[in-house]
Each structure stands twice: as C-alpha cells, then as structure tokens.
C-alpha cells in the first residue's frame, strides 16, 4: 500500500552543494511529498539554473550579486523570482509558503538565513553546523520561542537523535560521537607537515564539500560536532566523548545509566539522515544498498590522537570557555582552511592559526546575532593577518 503524505513545502539553503544535491535527489524520488518553493546557493549560477528548470521553485537566490544577475538572464523565460546577496538568501529562507528549511550552506554564512528561517517559524533540517557552533544558545532560544524543531542531518547527530528516541533524558550517561579519523589518520607529524590539499581532500568514506573534508582531516570537524551536540541535545561537554571508528558504520552511540549502549548503524550515505530529518518521525523507503556486516567483517576503534590532531581539543576548549570563543574558533578555522586550499599555508599551520586567534581573543557573552557576527568578523581579521604573515 502506498502511504499518502501531505505535500511539504521546502526551501534548500545551499542547494548546489553536496548536502543540497543529496536533498534534491530525495525530492526527485518523492515528488508527491515535497514541493521545492525556494533554492539558494553561493555563486554557481549554472548549476542553480539547472535545478530551477527541474524543480520549478517560485524563489531563488545567489549570495554573489554578479552571479545572481547572470542567473536572472538565464532564467528570464521562467516564472521564478531571483534575489541577490545574503539578504536575498535570508529572504528566500523566510518565504511565506515554506514549512521546512534545509540548512545546508557551508560555514558561518549560514547563520543569518538559518536564524531568519527559525524566526519565521520554519522547521529546520540542519546540516550547516557552523551556525550552531557560533551561536548555539541563541539559535535554540529562538527555536523555542518560535516553536521550531531543529532536526539534525549531520550523520553523528542524526544517530544520537535516533538513539535517544523513546528514552528518558535523565537516564543518559554520555554521548559518544564517532569520527572516521579522516583522510590522514595514519600520517606522522612529519607527513602531515608536507601534506598537499589534493591528498587531504581524499576522504576514505564520504564524498563531501572541500571545507568539511579538510575539517575531517584536521579533526576540527569533530571539534565543531562536539559543540553542535552540546546545543542540539542540551548536554554538557563533560558528557560528550569522541571515538575514532575508521569504517563510518556506527554513526554514534548513547550510553545509558545502566551501561546499556544504543547506537545507529548504516552504510555511509547522507541520504539516510537527510530523509529522516525531512520526514520525521516516519522513515522513507530508500532504494539503497543494505548494510552487510559480513562483507565489512571488521570494525575498528581508536582514541583520538591530540598530538597530531590538536583541533578536537580546541573545540572542547572553546566550548568550556563559551561566549564568543566558539565563534572565534570557527571563524579562524574557516580562514585557515581556505588559506590551506588556496594560498599555500601548511596543513599544521591550520591549528596554529586557530590557537593564536583564540589566544588573542577576550571572550564576551553572546546575547544577540550581532555579538556573534562581530566576533566572527574580528576573528577573521586576526586569522587573515596570521595567514598573511605566513605567506608573504
Ligand atoms: P558544499 O561546499 O558542497 O556546499 C555548500 C553550499 O553552500 C553550496 O550550495 C554553496 O553554493 C553554498 N554557499 C556557499 N557560500 C554561501 C553563501 N555565502 N551564501 C549562500 N550559500 C552559500 O558543502 P557541503 O559538504 O554540502 O556542506 C554543507 C554543510 O553541511 C556544512 O556546514 C557541512 O559541515 C555540513 N555537513 C555536510 C556533510 C556532507 O556529507 N557533505 C555531512 C555533514 C554535515
Ligand atoms: Mg558529521
């Protein structure tokens, strides 16, 4: 029997990216269930045009103004309204008809539109972890005020969300986030010193955007995810642990007070957690390969190595200090990753730049969006000057 589902109107922030295209793949499989009312991206007008022609949203936006102008020309024959700039992206996030906003922009650029969607009362499916890192308390306070639920897409957080279902929160002893260890797990410090961006971009288990792939290589992705978990599940950092699990089959675990451990497993495919966030509490019948544990045969586990990969500890430190420190760490990381990919700083300069930026920062509380954005700007300036000193 075919289940009847009410049509859900969705907006995708970051539709041209890895999460965005996986989301559209699900929409494509269930056209009777999701209507795309808005698509937004950074600057890829060609790809966004193709998506608009296929999914026919009423609204679209590109953050880059020149690209938005090109997109208007390309789509002149279509009844789509095209907006420009960060404000245009935030405008689409609040579209009247939208019920669910898939937040899948990369980096702090997603904070403004995601918060705008929350304030407009849209339900959120959240992949974009950086805004939670920058201003998690503020985002959750606004979500509560506007009766918004934030459903995790990040695979670890989806696993925790699923492992918490049907259990009492007071029975939770700890959350264990798994980490693949990334593309450079076996590398010595000497090897890490000279690693190229091309090598660092070769993730063994996941095909993702370049920023998160480098975060995975430095383990900063796990530092960001510890902070994301803090706010998504309202759990102190003392109850969040990280376990390196190379195969990315166990996506995370929850231990309860009776020492029972509940985990969620699956082949690494983001369409599983995306679809769960889109149709919670029901599951979608996805035509994907099944997990065959005999084919995988061995699952391996290690402690994180903080000497070679100091970024995870920086995440814990930033969370302990609180206030504007996580936003500062996040901004410094974004600048350092971009510099590693584009301007030739070395891989091990990334944690150094982040640490130095954090050390130069006097943390303040975050009460408003501007507090977070100011910290973000200041940290970018500081980190950019550090990059400049290394590359001139
Ligand atoms: P990506 O680089 O593939 O895509 C990023 C998207 O954001 C693109 O559509 C791009 O056009 C858009 N964008 C960039 N700058 C923008 C701006 N200033 N304004 C509006 N749009 C902008 O990245 P991704 O891998 O899809 O990751 C997206 C987010 O999801 C990240 O926060 C990442 O950490 C998180 N995430 C990704 C995965 C994954 O499998 N890719 C898994 C878990 C979490
Ligand atoms: Mg993850």
Residue among 218, 188, 213 nearest 201 (CA): 213
The per-residue pLDDT for 3 is: 59
Q: What percent of the chain has pLDDT over 90?
A: 97
Q: Is the pLDDT confidence value at 254 over 70?
A: yes
Q: How far apart are CA 16 and CA 130, in angstroms?
A: 18
Check pocket membership of 102 for ligand 1, CB cut-off 6 A.
no
Q: Can you tell me which atom of ligand 1 is nearest the CA of 207?
A: 40
- 262 forms beta bridges with 254
Residues with beta carbon < 5 A to ion ligand 2? 154-156
Helix, strand, or coil (residue 253): strand
The per-residue pLDDT for 4 is: 66
Tens-digit pLDDT profile for residues 24-33? 999 999 999 9
Give me the phi and psi of 321, to 5 degrees please: -70, -40
The strand pair at 34-41 and 150-152 is best described as unpaired
How many residues comprise the chain?
Answer: 392
Q: Which ligand is nearest to the CA of 19?
A: 1
Mean pLDDT for 110-132 is 98
Q: Which ligand is nearest to the CA of 103?
A: 1
Q: Which ligand is nearest to the CA of 242?
A: 2
Instruction: Give the containing element (helix H, strand E) for 300.
Output: none
Tens-digit pLDDT profile for residues 37-73? 999 999 999 999 999 999 999 999 999 999 999 999 9
The per-residue pLDDT for 1 is: 47
pLDDT band with cut points at 50, 70 and 90 for residue 392: confident
Check pocket membership of 106 for ligand 1, CB cut-off 6 A.
yes
C-alpha torsion 69→75→76→82, nearest 10 = -50
Which two structure tokens, joined as six digits, stand for 302?
Answer: 């290690």
Q: Is the pLDDT confidence value at 321 over 70?
A: yes
The per-residue pLDDT for 2 is: 55
C-beta neighbour count of 230 within 10 angstroms: 24
Q: What is the end-to-end Cα distance of the chain in Å, rounded?
A: 66
SS3 for 189-240, per residue? HHHHHCCCHHHHCCCCCCCCCHHHHHHHHHCHHHHHHHHHHHHHCCCCHHHE
Q: Is the pLDDT confidence value at 284 over 60?
A: yes
Task: Cite the beta strand spans of 73-118 per DSSP E.
Answer: 81-84, 100-103
Q: Can you tell me which atom of ligand 1 is nearest the CA of 63?
A: 19
b/e burial code for range 325-352 (CB count within 10 A of at least 16 → b): bbbbbbbbbbbbbbbbbeeebebbbbbe
Tens-digit pLDDT profile for residues 189-238? 999 999 999 999 999 999 999 999 999 999 999 999 999 999 999 999 99
Q: Can you tell me which atom of ligand 1 is nearest the CA of 44?
A: 11
Helix, strand, or coil (residue 4): coil
Helix, strand, or coil (residue 369): helix
The per-residue pLDDT for 343 is: 80
The per-residue pLDDT for 275 is: 98
**Alpha helices (H) in 94-145, listed in sequence order:** 111-119, 130-145
Yes or no: say if 204 and 190 are a contact pair by the CB < 8 Å rule.
no
Residue 219, phi-psi category: left (phi > 0), alpha (psi -120 to 50), beta (remainder)? left
Give residue 56 CA to ligand 2 midpoint distance, Å: 30
Q: Is the pLDDT confidence value at 7 over 90?
A: yes
Check pocket membership of 255 for ligand 1, CB cut-off 6 A.
no
Read off the pTM: 0.98
Q: What percent of the chain has pLDDT over 70?
A: 99
Write out the DSSP string of 318-359.
HHHH-TTHHHHHHHHHHHHHHHHHHS---TTHHHHHHHHHHH
Instruction: Report helix angle 349-359 to 220-232, nearest 10.
Output: 50
Mean pLDDT for 337-356 is 96
């Amino acid at each position: 029997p075919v289940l009847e589902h009410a049509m859900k109107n969705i907006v995708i922030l970051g539709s041209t990216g890895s999460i965005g295209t996986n989301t559209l793949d699900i929409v494509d499989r269930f056209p009777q269930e999701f209507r795309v009312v808005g698509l937004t991206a950074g600057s890829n007008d060609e790809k966004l045009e193709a998506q608009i022609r296929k999914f026919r949203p009423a609204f679209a936006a590109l953050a880059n103004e020149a690209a938005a102008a090109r997109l208007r020309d390309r789509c002149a024959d279509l009844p789509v309204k095209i907006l420009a700039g960060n404000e245009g992206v935030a405008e689409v996030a609040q579209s009247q008809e939208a019920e669910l906003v898939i937040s899948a922009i990369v980096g702090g650029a997603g904070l403004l539109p995601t918060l705008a969607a929350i304030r407009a009362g849209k339900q959120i499916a959240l992949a974009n972890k950086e805004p939670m890192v920058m201003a998690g308390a503020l985002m959750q306070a606004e979500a509560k005020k506007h009766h918004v639920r934030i459903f995790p897409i990040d695979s670890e957080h989806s696993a925790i969300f699923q492992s918490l279902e049907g259990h009492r929160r007071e029975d939770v002893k700890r959350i264990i986030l798994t980490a693949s260890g990334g593309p450079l797990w076996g590398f010595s410090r000497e090897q890490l010193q000279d690693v190229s961006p091309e090598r660092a971009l070769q993730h063994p288990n996941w095909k993702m955007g370049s920023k998160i792939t480098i975060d995975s290589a430095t383990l900063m992705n796990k530092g960001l995810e510890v902070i994301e978990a803090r706010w998504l599940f309202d759990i102190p950092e003392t109850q969040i642990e990280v376990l390196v699990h190379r195969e990315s089959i166990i996506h995370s675990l929850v231990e309860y007070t009776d020492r029972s451990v509940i985990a969620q497993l699956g082949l690494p495919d983001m369409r599983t957690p995306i679809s769960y966030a889109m149709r919670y509490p029901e599951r979608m019948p996805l035509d994907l390969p099944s997990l065959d544990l005999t084919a995988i045969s061995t699952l391996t586990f290690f402690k994180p190595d903080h000497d070679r990969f100091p970024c995870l500890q920086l995440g814990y430190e930033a969370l302990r200090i609180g206030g504007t420190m996580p936003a500062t760490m996040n901004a410094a990381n974004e600048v350092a990753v971009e510099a590693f990919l584009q301007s030739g700083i070395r891989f091990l300069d990334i944690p150094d730049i982040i640490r130095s930026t954090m050390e130069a920062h006097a943390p303040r509380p975050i009460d408003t969006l501007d507090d977070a954005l100011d910290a973000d700007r200041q940290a970018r300036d500081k980190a950019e000057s550090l990059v400049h000193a290394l590359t001139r």
